[in-house]
Structure formats: structure tokens, C-alpha cells
Amino acid sequence: MLYGFMGAGKTAVGQQLAGLLGWPFVDTDRLVERRAGKPIPRIFDEDGEAAFRCLEREAVREAAGVRPAVVACGGGAVVDPANAEVLRSCGHMVWLRAQLDSVLSRAVSEDRPLLRGDLRGRAAALLEERTPRYRELAEVVVDTDGLSVEQVARRVLEELVERETRTVQVSVPGGRYPVRVGEGILPLVGLDLYRLGVRRAGLLTHPRLWRLYGSTLAEVLRGWGVDVVPVLVPPGEGTKSLKTACRVYAELAGAHLDRAGAVVALGGGVVGDLGGFVAGTYMRGVRFVQLPTTLLAQVDASVGGKAAVNVRTRGGGGAVRNLVGVFWQPEAVVADVATLRSLPLRELRAGLAECVKHGAIRDAALLEWTDRHLRSLLGRQADLLVELVARNVAIKAGVVAQDERESSGVREVLNFGHTVAHALEAATGYRTYLHGEAVAVGMVVEAELGGRVGVSDGSVAEVLRSVLGRAGLPTQLPRVPAETLVSFMRLDKKARGGKLRFSLVDRLGHARAGVEVPEEVVTAVLREMGAAA
């Protein structure tokens, strides 16, 4: 909600800001004129100020019903307590503050009914009268003197970013980057690319996501001066391949994307992994930005810099997940929980598995909080989803900061449940389970395994089975041969010297990495959990 004295630039700034966000722009003065069928000076002359204020109240209520939107209010609109209450209830109050001389230089060319006669004297008196009210309502104050319309709009946007998002900083040896979490914040990636100096970007996404978000986002980014190259790939785990990566390389090269450009990944874990792999290897590395649209990607896959593709092994054994990859950190991550509204419920449930994992390995209180709010989270309550994503990102960021490249073993705790999960996905041809569903099964199996070798407290498996079950996730192995699962586990990146190693939870909220477990024990537990002999 932009407000301020007449001539402060509310309309011009509002139009610019709306373009940068891809939102509608609403000007209450124009709504008044449309309702009255005549310009504001004639309303004052023919009907009086009282009639204008009545129309203005109606216009404010109409503008408040347009969401999301950038709204510019007349200079006196917020002086009315009823108008102020309506406006404050539906958006941030931004005061565009201008000094008297600036106001006069802009207002002199227009017919301002309240400034007729002694222009300077009337303006000074009215500005002095309204300033206390402007100051009282302001959540954000931007001084417009000496700034262009574009500069003011970007300054407003920078201020709003701090208020509209929960930002978690991820620190790694090479620097740090923000993960912004909020509702309706996808267009804010334009600000990140602008700050990075990116003028051309490959936007990697699926055709469906391009229709839902990508085409609109491309227009927004063009408003920031970024030339967007759409690169569309099919959905599904099969897209994470060297063959697809080569096709993406060719499209980027054909569009003349150079090392000053960026790859922007709009999608879930598959798009994020492929995008990170391409960004880290194309021209030996270009900038990378993540726009995760699934819960699993928002809380886990988009953070930490691990990116990889699957590779099919000889002998018909199927593709090995994430066998070839790089560590390539994004420059920024924008996690917009509004995109989760278009996510199928099954995928939302799958994302909750990673949230349960983070609680199990690092924060028992978060695990309990997630369990308590399951119904509302599955109902996509935005404020709770923002809280959930931000808290999970903070856990992931803390682990990554200690061990970016898994050199010390600390980061391996994030793989709790994943050794079994990756084997299960591969053994079923990546056609039966979503990744989060496989992780849910894997956590229960590995908790039982931890109990068998005396590492895990007896309650761990019981609690996880209960929470995951209430989230609607599977907790039992299918009738896949145990030996098939073990054969895929031998290819797990944590295996050393032919021995299977696991990250196990010893008690809820605490895990240990690098626990060696004999194959015969693993096989026995797998069979007890439902795997075929």
C-alpha cells in the first residue's frame, strides 16, 4: 500500500513496482474517477470534497479486495481512520516521503484542487497537517528526493523483502547465500538476479510449471533487465541423466549464455538436481539460483549444493541414483509456499518425510511440532508452511556449514533413511515410490537396524512409524528381494571397503554417521520388514 503527499510519485512508483512483481496495479484516484465518470478536479468543483471522500472510501475497499496487488492511495486517503484500517489489514503500509520543494516541482503541472491559490502556502500547511498521520501508519519509509522512479521502486522492494520473508543464511567456505521463505514471493528472484548482475538466464523447468509460473516469471524478470531463455524438460526421475544434461548444455549454448549468465531451476528435486549439475559444469560453472516448488525441495534438496544425475550400470542393473555429480552452491534460493497449493497431496506428504528426518537427527522439538500440526500442514496453511520450511532449512544450513563436501562425515547424518531409500527406489525402477515415500520406509528400516546393533533407542522406530503413518506415508518394505536391495546398497556413496555404513539415530534429535553394519544383519532386518527372501 503506497501512500504519501500529492506529487510524491505514488502512481509512477506503483506502476514500476507492480511490473517488477508481476502483480496488478490499482490506483484509488483512478477508481474514484471511474465511479464518478469524471476527473477529480470536477468532482471537487461540482460535488464537493465530502462527495469525493465518500467515493474514495468505496475505492479503498475495492482496492483492498485485489490480492496480490500494488495499491497507490490518494494523498488524503489514509487520514481517514476507516480507510487506514482497511488498508493496514491487507498489506504493508509504505510511505513515500518527499520534501516540500520536490512535491511542488511535481504538483505544479497538475490541477490539485486542495492547492489552488497560494500553492506553496497551502502545500506547506497541508503537508505539516498530514505528516504526523503518515508517520504513525508507516511500516516502511522511503525518501524519494533525488531518486528516479526505478530507484524508489527497487528500494521499496528491498524493504518489503525483509518483511515478507523468513531469511536463512547458508554459510559455506566460499561465501554465503540467502534462502528466502514466504508466501507469494517467487517474483523476488528478480531482485537477486539484479543484485548479482545477471542479464541472461536459462530458466529450467517442466512444461506444466512453465504454464503455471514460468511464463509470468519470465515477464517479471525481463522487467528487471534479464533476458530469459526457457529450457523445458519432462518431469520424472528419468530426466536426471547425462543425456538430458547434454541437451540442456546445447540449448544454453545455442542461446549464447556465457559465464556471466545464470541457470535458474524452477521445480522440484529433479529439476533442482539437474539444474545444479548443469550450472556447475557448463563452461566450468555459472551462477545458479533455486526456485523450489515442492515441499521436499524447499526443505532439503534446494539447499546445500549437492547436485547429481543418475547413471545406468552395465548388466541391466538399472540406474544408480546420483552416481555422477558436483558440489555447486546456489547464489540464492526463493522458497515460495504458495507454489505448494498446486502440488498433489501425495507429493506434499512425501516432502514431510524429509521434515521428519530433520527432526529425528537434529531437533526433537521440531519433530513434535510437525506431528502436532500435521492436519494443518497437509491443509496447506501458509503461515505454518513458512514456519516448517524455515526451521528445516535452518537445520540443513547448520549441517552444511560444518561439512559442505562431506569430508568430515558430519553431513552424512542428513542421509538417515537414504541408504535404504535409494536402494528401494533403484530396485523398483523409480516407478513405485516418490523419493520422500522411499525415505519414510528407509527411516523406519534403519531405525530398526539401529536397534538391532544397539545404536538406536528402542523408541525411535516406534515414534517414526507413528508420525510417518499419520502423515500418510508408507513404513513397510514391499516384497523386493533383500539381496537386490543389498546389492544396490553396496553402490551407496557411504560404503567403504565393501562394507555397508549407515547414518543412524541413537535418540530422537541426535544422530551419528558412519556406523558399519554387517551385511547379514542388514539382510535379516530387511526380511523381517517385508523384503522377500
CB of 314 closer than 8 Å to CB of 293: no
Averages of pLDDT over each 10 residues, the chain, 533 residues: 90 94 94 94 91 95 92 92 92 92 68 63 87 94 93 92 90 92 93 94 98 96 94 93 97 96 96 97 97 97 93 70 91 97 96 98 98 98 97 96 88 95 91 94 98 94 97 96 94 79 96 94 95 88
- Cell numbers linked to 162: 525483509
pLDDT recorded at residue 107: 60
Q: How many helical (H) and strand (E) elements, i.e. helices and strands, does the chain have?
A: 23, 16
Which tens digit of pLDDT belongs to each residue from 196-205? 999 999 999 9
- Cell numbers linked to 122: 497551502
In three state form, how does the secondary structure of 469-484 look? HHCCCCCCCCCCEHHH
CB of 506 closer than 8 Å to CB of 457: yes
CB neighbours of residue 414 within 10 Å: 25
- Cell numbers 566460499 label which residue? 174
Beta strands 287-292 and 306-312: pairing type?
Answer: unpaired
Helix (H, G, I), strand (E, B) or coil at 70: strand
Which phi and psi angles does 6 have, rounded to 5°?
-55, 135
- Cell numbers 530469459 label which residue? 228
Beta strands 2-3 and 166-172: pairing type?
Answer: unpaired
- Cell numbers 560404503 label which residue? 495
CATH numbers and ranges of domains, the chain = 2-162 (3.40.50.300), 165-343 (3.40.50.1970), 410-528 (1.20.1090.10)
Helix (H, G, I), strand (E, B) or coil at 260: coil
User: Catalytic residue numbers?
Assistant: 284, 306, 354, 396, 406, 411, 415, 418, 422, 435
250-to-243, 255, 282 alpha-carbon distances in Å: 11, 9, 10
How many Å apart are CA 437 and CA 491, to the nearest integer?
21
How many Å apart are CA 202 and CA 3, to the nearest integer?
37
Residue 322's region, left for phi above 0, alpha for psi from -120 to 50, else beta, is left
Nearest residue to 240 via CA among 271, 262, 268: 271
How many Å apart are CA 438 and CA 162, to the nearest integer?
36
Sequence-distant (6+) residues with CB within 8 A of 341 are 380
Using alpha carbons only, give the angle 215, 325, 316 rounded to the nearest 5 degrees: 100
Helix 345-362 vs helix 458-470: angle between axes, to the nearest 10 degrees? 160
Q: Exposed (0-12), middle (13-18) or buried (19+): which is 64, by Cβ within 10 Å?
A: buried
How many Å apart are CA 513 and CA 502, to the nearest integer?
6
pLDDT recorded at residue 110: 61
Give the CA diameter of the chain. Answer: 96
- Cell numbers linked to 300: 532439503
Which phi and psi angles does 301 have, rounded to 5°?
-65, -30
In eight-state DSSP terms, residue 89 is T
Report the b/e string of 489-526 with b at 16+ CB within 10 A: beebbbeeeeebbbbbbeebbebbbebebeeeebbebb
- Cell numbers 511500516 label which residue? 139
Element (H, E) at 103: helix 100-107
- Cell numbers linked to 343: 502440488
Sequence-distant (6+) residues with CB within 8 A of 39 are 33
Nearest residue to 135 via CA among 90, 182, 94: 94
Sequence-distant (6+) residues with CB within 8 A of 459 are 508
